[in-house]
């Protein structure tokens, strides 16, 4: 570990011992300033996102606006960390919530501001300090976020961006000054980080990959489902963990739904990411496009049928593809991180549920049906951290977000996130 990183960990640890003494109310005041800075600088910050990872500028602006919305939510949050009195026979009987210290965030490139702030805002509001290892193509985003915290008036080293390679993460996490880690990324990266945290008896929060089901039943609003399905798969060029990736269509409506879906899908034509009218551009890196092509070929080799071909038109851009896949295809055990969707046909509700659950992932599923009993059946039986009904999946600052199975563990967003990186302390006595 370099001397520079050592110094930053020292600074983060020193800042923590001062920051934890700042009242919850005073911390919130600074987050109000941060939210305002995000709002007034949304265009400039969005340009950083588009330049670094190629997201269409309109979606980059929307990302910054969502960050501001989330930050303002926490700036107005109830203090759920104040001591709780518990009725017992003792004179003193309370639950306290103590911040842990310096928390490491290992963050991805697909939402360069949202993922970082989704982790950092509640973690810092809870009294911790944060060091972030951002994706290598997004160091500019990480540095911009650090500058925003300082401009908002946060003490030095409450938020720090580390420009380090992935190989250094293990060493940083093993350092005694770092008390816990939050990672958003692949299943492999999550397993590696969790193993390191476990060996060092440190808490980890993991938000990992997904292969979310988008279930369309025979009583659904098919036009709305078709429009929502295309958006669910192709927003951010399909580079989202909670994107709809497997479209499970009830057989009764296959012939009616698929033309609608294909029509909506074809509206997404890659364009210039700096053009406000563009709604899909290229993938973030050429090697990611190479990997998607390999997955596409593997799927076809194992019996998948082409509905719309995945056509590569540049080093990073594709005409979006759709394939029809049957159970047993190995691609179902992987995450397709790009503009390629899979269609599966279900005989009935139980069959649709089986297809939805029969994968390693469990991040977020969407089900489209007008029937309340059918909604309840899927809500109770889908194995995922989120179930969206008659809408595509998206996160909301007011609601908890997290996964099941290989999609990770722990909670981000909502007031519950404030308790992820605290020590629950029992105080009892006479």
Q: Vertex 249, ends 236 and 225: CA angle to 5°?
A: 50
CA dihedral 104, 394, 289, 291 (to 10 degrees): 70
CA 270 to chain centre: 24
The set of residues, in sequence order, having a beta carbon less than 8 Å from that of 172 and lying 6+ positions away, is 1, 5, 9, 104, 131, 133, 162, 164, 178
Measure the CA–CA gap between 237 and 198, rounded to whole angstroms. 35
- Pairwise CA distance, residues 299 & 365, whole Å: 22
Catalytic positions, please? 207, 241
Residues 112-127 as b/e (b if ≥16 CB within 10 A, e otherwise) read bbbbbbbbbbbbbbbb
DSSP structure class, residue 41:
T
Alpha carbons 244 and 405: distance in angstroms, whole number: 17
Q: N- to C-terminal Cα distance for the chain? A: 48
179, 197, 46: which is closest to 101 by C-alpha? 179
Phi then psi for 270, rounded to 5 degrees? -55, 135
């Amino acid at each position: 570990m370099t001397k520079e990183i050592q110094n930053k960990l020292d600074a983060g640890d020193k800042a923590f011992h001062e920051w934890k003494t700042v009242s919850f109310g005073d911390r919130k005041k600074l987050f109000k300033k941060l939210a305002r800075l995000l709002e007034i600088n949304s265009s400039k910050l969005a340009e950083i996102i588009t330049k670094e990872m190629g997201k269409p500028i309109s979606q980059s602006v929307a990302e910054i606006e969502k960050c501001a919305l989330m930050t303002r939510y926490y700036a107005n949050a109830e203090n759920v960390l104040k001591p709780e009195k518990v009725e017992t026979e003792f004179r003193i009987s309370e639950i306290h919530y103590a911040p842990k210290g310096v928390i490491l965030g290992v963050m991805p490139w697909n939402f360069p501001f949202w993922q970082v702030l989704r982790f950092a805002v509640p973690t810092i509001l809870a009294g911790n300090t944060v060091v972030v290892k951002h994706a290598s193509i997004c160091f500019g985003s990480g540095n911009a976020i650090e500058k925003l915290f300082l401009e908002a008036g946060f003490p030095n080293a409450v938020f720090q961006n580390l420009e380090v390679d992935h190989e250094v993460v293990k060493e940083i996490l093993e350092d005694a000054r770092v008390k816990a880690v939050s990672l958003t990324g692949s299943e492999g990266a999550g397993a590696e980080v969790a193993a390191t945290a476990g060996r060092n008896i440190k808490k980890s929060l993991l938000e990992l990959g997904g292969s979310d089901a988008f279930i369309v039943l025979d009583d659904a609003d098919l036009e709305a489902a078709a429009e929502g399905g295309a958006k669910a798969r192709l927003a951010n060029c399909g580079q989202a963990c909670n994107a709809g990736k497997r479209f499970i269509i009830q057989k009764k409506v296959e012939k009616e739904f698929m033309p609608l879906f294909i029509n909506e899908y074809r509206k997404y034509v890659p364009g210039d990411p700096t053009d406000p009218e563009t709604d899909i551009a290229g993938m973030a890196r050429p090697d990611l496009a190479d990997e998607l092509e390999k997955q596409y070929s593997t799927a076809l080799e194992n019996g998948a049928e082409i509905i719309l071909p995945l056509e590569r038109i540049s080093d990073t851009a594709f005409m979006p593809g759709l394939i029809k896949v049957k159970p047993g295809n190995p691609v179902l055990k992987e995450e397709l991180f790009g503009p390629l969707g899979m269609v599966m046909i279900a005989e009935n509700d139980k069959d649709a549920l089986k297809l939805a659950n029969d994968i390693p992932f469990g991040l977020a599923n969407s089900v489209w049906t007008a029937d309340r009993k059918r909604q309840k059946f899927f809500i109770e039986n889908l194995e995922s951290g989120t179930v969206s009904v008659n809408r595509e999946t998206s996160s909301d600052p007011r609601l908890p977000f997290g996964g099941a199975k290989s999609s990770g563990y722990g909670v981000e967003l909502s007031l519950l996130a404030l308790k992820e990186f605290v020590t629950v302390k029992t105080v009892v006595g006479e």
